[in-house]
């Protein structure tokens, strides 16, 4: 207490040091309490931010990702697998077309070649589902083979090496089961003998019947050129194909057991045709095929058994016999299923429908009649050819301005800029069956075309030349005896009439773009 000058006591607040410190503390506490809500928000803000984003991402539907390979985080809100199939057991298979473009499709692990071809027919919008095939092609080695309809595609790919450039090609193959229809053409009787009695011969028809009915296989025999390992030299050796495997004779054509040498087992090998064998392997002829063991994934030239026949019929006999002896009745089941496939809807692929065509005579008043006499049918065919010439000469109701100026580029059988060798290769690839054909531009004669036609396992070429018919440009193959306004007329006529050709035009050689 203090006194003033008048002696009056004045009240003074006595503040010690401890009291002053507590006052400062209270002031800080009050300030902290006033800022507490903001500090709490700042402290809890990361939690609210993450939670808010998660709530937002769950409320908004996922966006399909058009580039799933560029999105790697597992917790990304973008659907990485938006383009994958609904089930997880599908596998991606890439198939090439004959135009070298590819198409990828998802298949199940047990999908067969027939099922994959059916999927490709649907996706590529093909006009028919008959005679389609998958070709296993090794470009570097020049090997190719047609997969059987019952083979599982993924199992075939599992035997491929990662280092090779093997691919699957989607194409036509009319000759896949042709030996069931015409065994005499594919199995020469000189190459067939009875397995029970090797001294007795066997016909090609008996070969098929014995194989399907009793399961017994005959014996295929003949000389083949074989490439010696690690050398360019070729040696002529006599081979025997039996159900137990492939053998060769060490002494001429002797069949004695002491002269037979075991070569390969049918269950563990596949047979391939060799493309461009003269250049790649210095083969003595173009009719080369190869035996490859299925258990080895890496393909080496020294592991291949490369064989060469003297002609196409001999090679076809050996390759078809390998298939028949290995699969037996399974091939016949595949053949029966292939016949039940829907026929062509486009009108260009007549298939076997020509077999049901008959000669008709509509000259009578009572209507048409079937011509039973073969000579009368041939006479009617010649008269039809002459009438066709008259119609072309007078024109279809007007002047004809066709020939080289109106090429049918939209037709599947026309191949522009294809050489003679390439035409033979295309026909061979899609099956050496009677009636397989294509039309191409001639590389030696200006404004001329060439009809390439397969007959008896050989490709024949017919020159189509321009012809002046009373001032109108036409086309002919027989020096003006039968003339046509354009190539389309020529094909339509020879699909029904043989004329100078050995067989009617049946199967157009087509190239499918995927």
Query: Residue-wise pLDDT tens for the chain (514 aa)?
Result: 444 444 544 444 444 444 454 555 556 545 554 555 555 444 444 444 444 444 444 444 555 555 544 544 444 443 333 345 555 688 999 999 887 788 999 999 999 999 999 999 888 877 667 789 999 999 999 999 999 999 999 999 988 887 788 999 999 999 999 988 888 888 888 888 866 555 566 777 777 777 777 767 778 999 999 998 877 899 999 999 988 899 999 998 888 889 999 998 988 889 999 999 999 999 999 999 999 887 666 677 777 899 999 999 999 999 999 998 899 889 989 998 888 765 543 334 444 444 445 566 656 555 556 676 666 666 666 666 555 545 544 444 333 344 444 456 678 899 988 999 999 999 998 989 999 999 999 999 988 999 999 999 999 999 999 988 878 889 999 888 888 988 999 999 999 988 899 999 999 998 777 7
Question: What is the tens place of the pLDDT at every residue in 217-267?
Answer: 778 999 999 998 877 899 999 999 988 899 999 998 888 889 999 998 988
Is 196 in a helix, a strand, or coil?
coil
Q: What's the pLDDT score for residue 399?
A: 38
Which pLDDT value is given to residue 286?
Answer: 92
Domain chopping of the chain, boundaries? 91-172, 178-339, 353-508
Residue-level length of the chain: 514
How are beta strands 143-146 and 360-361 bridged, if at all? unpaired
> Which option is the CATH number for 178-339: 2.30.29.30, 3.10.20.30, 3.40.50.300, 3.40.50.410?
2.30.29.30
Q: In the prediction, which pLDDT does 434 show?
A: 93
What's the pLDDT score for residue 47?
46
Question: Which CATH topology does 353-508 take?
Answer: SHC Adaptor Protein (3.30.505)
Among the listed residues 95, 297, 321, the one whose alpha carbon sits nearest the alpha carbon of residue 218: 321
Which stretches within 173-234 are classed as H helix? 178-181, 183-186, 204-213
Residues paired with 270 in a beta bridge: 292
pLDDT given for residue 469 in this prediction: 80
Determine the pLDDT at residue 310: 94
Question: Is residue 296 a contact partner of residue 280, using CB atoms and an 8 Å limit?
Answer: no
Per-residue pLDDT tens over the stretch 489-510: 999 999 998 889 999 999 999 8
Structure confidence at residue 195 (pLDDT):
61
- The DSSP line for 344-399 is PSSSS--TTGGGG---EE--STT--EE---HHHHHHHHHHHHHHHHHHHHH-SSS-
Q: How is domain 91-172 classified at the architecture level of CATH?
A: Roll (3.10)
Question: Quick check: 260 and 278 in contact, CB under 8 A?
Answer: no
Across-strand partners of 53? none
Which pLDDT does position 83 carry in this prediction? Answer: 44
For every residue of 233-246, DSSP letters joined together read -EEEEEEEEETTEE
Count Cβ atoms within 10 A of the Cβ of residue 241 and give its class: 0-12 exposed, 13-18 middle, 19 or more buried: buried
Mean pLDDT of all residues belonging to the chain: 76
**Distance separating alpha carbons of residues 491 and 502, to the nearest angstrom:** 14
List, in order, residues 6 or more apart from 60 with CB less than 8 Å away: 77
Per-position b or e across 150-185, b if 16+ CB within 10 A of its CB:
ebbbeebeebbeeeeebbbbbbbbbbbbbbbeebeb
């Amino acid at each position: 207490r203090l006194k003033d000058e008048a002696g009056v006591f004045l009240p003074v607040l006595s503040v010690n040091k401890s009291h002053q410190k507590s006052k400062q503390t209270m002031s800080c506490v009050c300030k902290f309490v006033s800022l507490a809500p903001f500090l709490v928000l700042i402290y809890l803000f990361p939690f609210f931010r993450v939670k808010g984003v998660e709530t937002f991402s769950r409320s908004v539907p996922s966006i399909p990702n058009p580039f799933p390979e560029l999105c790697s985080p597992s917790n990304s809100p973008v659907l990485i697998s938006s383009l994958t199939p609904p089930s997880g057991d599908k596998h991606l298979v890439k198939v090439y077309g004959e135009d070298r473009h590819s198409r990828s499709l998802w298949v199940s692990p047990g999908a067969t070649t027939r099922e994959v071809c059916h999927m490709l027919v649907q996706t590529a919008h093909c006009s028919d589902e008959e005679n389609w095939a998958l070709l296993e092609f090794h470009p570097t080695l020049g090997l190719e083979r047609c997969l059987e309809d019952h083979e599982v595609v993924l199992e075939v790919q599992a035997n491929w090496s990662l280092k090779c450039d093997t691919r699957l090609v989607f194409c036509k193959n009319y000759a896949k089961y042709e030996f069931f229809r015409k065994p005499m053409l594919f199995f020469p009787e000189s190459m067939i003998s009875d397995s029970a009695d090797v001294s007795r011969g066997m016909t090609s028809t008996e070969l098929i019947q014995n194989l399907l009915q009793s399961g017994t296989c005959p014996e295929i025999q003949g000389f083949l050129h074989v490439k010696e390992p690690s050398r360019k030299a070729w040696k002529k050796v006599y081979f025997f194909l039996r159900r137990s495997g492939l053998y060769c004779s060490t002494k001429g054509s002797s069949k004695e057991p002491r002269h037979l040498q075991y070569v390969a087992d049918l269950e563990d090998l596949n047979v391939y045709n060799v493309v461009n064998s003269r250049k790649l392997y210095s083969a003595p002829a173009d009719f080369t095929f190869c035996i490859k063991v299925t258990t080895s994934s890496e393909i080496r030239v020294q592991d291949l058994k490369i064989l060469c026949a003297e002609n196409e019929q001999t090679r076809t006999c050996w390759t078809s016999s390998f298939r028949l002896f290995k699969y037996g009745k399974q091939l016949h089941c595949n053949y029966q299923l292939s016949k039940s496939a829907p026929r062509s809807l486009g009108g260009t692929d007549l298939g076997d429908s020509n077999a049901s065509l008959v000669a008709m005579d509509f000259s009578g008043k009572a209507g048409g009649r079937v011509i039973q006499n073969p000579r009368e049918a041939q006479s009617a065919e010649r008269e039809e050819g002459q009438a066709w010439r008259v119609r072309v000469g007078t024109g279809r109701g007007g002047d004809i301005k066709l020939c080289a100026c109106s090429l049918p580029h939209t037709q599947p059988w026309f191949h522009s800029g294809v050489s003679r060798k390439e035409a033979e290769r295309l026909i061979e690839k899609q099956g050496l069956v009677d009636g397989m054909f294509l039309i191409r531009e001639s590389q030696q004669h200006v404004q001329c075309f060439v009809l390439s036609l397969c007959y008896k396992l050989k490709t024949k070429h017919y020159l189509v030349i321009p012809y002046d018919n009373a001032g109108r440009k036409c086309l002919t193959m027989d020096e003006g005896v039968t003339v046509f306004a354009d190539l389309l007329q020529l094909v339509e006529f020879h699909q029904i009439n043989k004329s100078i050709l050995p067989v009617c035009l049946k199967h157009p050689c087509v190239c499918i773009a995927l």
